[in-house]
Structure 1
Amino acid sequence: ILGIIQGFTEFLPVSSTAHLILFPWIFGWEDPGLAFDVFLHLGSLTGIIAFFWRDFYNMAAGMIKSNKGSIDTNTEGKIGWYIIIGTIPAGIAGLLFQDKIESLLRDPSLIAVTLILFGLLLWWAEEKGRKRRKLHNMNISDALIIGCAQAVALIPGVSRSGITITAGLFRNLERETAARFTFLLSTPIILAGGLLSFTDVYNTGLPEGMLLPVITGFIASAVSGFLAIKFLMSFLSKQKVNIFVYYRIVLGLVILLFR
């Protein structure tokens, strides 16, 4: 169940961290531990790579062909460099603040408030953004601003996809373009976080009886993540993000009422 929750909510703008904290809190489940969490995130990463493998191939080829690392090249090469640039803010923020944030900001009431506030911010971006610019129109400023937004997603309840799509809409990107760059941008951070945590799991080993749950969670997260991306890319090509705004607000209010 947690694998499916992770897969779907990692890529929908509703905050996977919030749901992974809230569901065990609501149902009284025990914490499955670091190993399980690591493989859920690696499953999400597998879903991204499976869906966007052609984009990653084209970006790598474009970057290799670029002239001595210049970003003034083809669209695929430029986006590859922009992803590297956009990853820097979240990487720095994660190294400096992740442990403190995880220990201080996991209270359900705080998560509820964050869900509501950043849901309203997403609605504002939907209403104010012109949604005219495509991937080939992006520039370094877009990458840095969206990258800084990704750093804010360290706070539980913000949602990595939610805040980066919000930033993309404020930068007047099309919804689908904002979502595509969001997913591509998330890959290095998810990979780095997964590998760092995996070293801890490797050193300590899997707890007894966790092999099957870990494998099941990984597969569930990968499959549901792939399906969530496919759904969102199709949905945003035709519809506004308001349904996710409503969901965030209702969920936040329910948590506050029953806290």
Structure 2
Amino acid sequence: MPLLHLLILALIQGITEFLPVSSSGHLILLPGLTGMADQGQAIDVAVHVGTLGAVVAYFWSDVRDAALGTPRALIGKVDTPGARLAALLLIATVPVIVIGVTLKVTGLSDMMRSISVIGWSMLVFGLVLYWADKTGAETKIDADWSLPDAFKMGLWQAVALIPGTSRSGITITGARLLGYTREDGAKLAMLMSIPTILASGVLLGAEVASEANAALLKDAAIGAGFAFVAAFAALALMMRLLKSVSFTPYVVYRVILGVVLLGIAYS
């Protein structure tokens, strides 16, 4: 694959994975709107691995605690902060795994990969994010995350299986409706992405393992590296801006893109 194509894919994935504008929607749109060859699932997995590395690096302290606490969480002991965080992340991941596997098995996931679906998702869920951000209270921080809230945010995250919804965007929407501050709601959404991206990467990786060859592995490594850098920069910028800026700029972008896509789809 040409280096420029890999760079474009990695930048799109890296920048949009953690911003509430839908990375999967942009990746689907790239070949459809530009005429570029579809990158294939192997490269999709690679750039997702790159963004996974970025969120792990950015929230390393929390990730380390959760990783160390996972063995205790798996046996039902949540007597340490790390075990508690691990348990909540596991609970939040259950809905997206169950619904994701169901959509994959039934073929519905492929049926939703269209410009019209992405356009409507961009528009509708962008407006829902705006409403949640403007009306949601700011009475909770990440330390207040509870089992019911983790499961509810997990259900919101599962909605992102609709292309164009944005995993981070819809999860932040759920967090704001539950009363979390912008910054802490975004932090929880980012931490929730780790097991979700890992699970989807394992699922897709198993499907494309038989296609692996030296050239593909090289492209995948380059794509993952570019995506890591882009994702880390985008994540750091967004978390810094949330101290003083709302989600409105992202909503405006979503609405404009949604209207343009719907115009293309129905023209």
Specify the TM-score bucket, using the shorter chain as the normaliser: over 0.9
Aligned to 1:43: 50
Q: How far apart are 1:209 and its partner, in Å?
A: 4.0
- Asked if 1:239 is matched to 2:211, the reply is no
Q: How far apart are 1:63 and its partner, in Å?
A: 5.5
- Asked if 1:173 is matched to 2:180, the reply is yes
Distance in 2, Cα, partners of 1:234 & 1:101: 37
Number of positions where the alignment pairs a residue of Structure 1 with one of Structure 2: 257
Q: Where in structure 2 are there 5+ consecutive unaligned residues?
A: 1-7
Aligned to 1:157: 164
The answer to whether the 8 Å contact 1:9/1:15 transfers is yes
The answer to whether the 8 Å contact 2:77/2:83 transfers is no
The answer to whether the 8 Å contact 2:65/2:81 transfers is no
Aligned to 2:4: none
Q: How far apart are 1:255 and its partner, in Å?
A: 1.5
The answer to whether the 8 Å contact 2:119/2:258 transfers is yes
Q: How far apart are 1:88 and its partner, in Å?
A: 0.7
Q: How far apart are 1:64 and its partner, in Å?
A: 6.0
Aligned to 1:255: 261
- Asked if 1:82 is matched to 2:100, the reply is no
Q: Where in structure 1 are there 5+ consecutive unaligned residues?
A: none
The answer to whether the 8 Å contact 1:75/1:135 transfers is no
Which of 2, 27, 37 aligns to 1:30? It is 37
- 1:5-20 paired onto structure 2 within 5 Å: 5-20=12-27
Distance in 1, Cα, partners of 2:233 & 2:202: 24
Distance in 2, Cα, partners of 1:159 & 1:22: 14
Aligned to 2:232: 226
Aligned to 2:216: 210
RMSD between aligned alpha carbons?
1.9
Post-superposition CA distance 1:185-217 (Å, at most 9, x none): 1111111111222223222323x7434432221
Q: Secondary structure of the residue that 2:17 maps to in structure 1?
A: helix
State the identity as a percent: 36
Distance in 2, Cα, partners of 1:58 & 1:148: 24
Distance in 1, Cα, partners of 2:187 & 2:249: 19
Distance in 2, Cα, partners of 1:209 & 1:56: 32
Q: How far apart are 1:135 and its partner, in Å?
A: 1.1
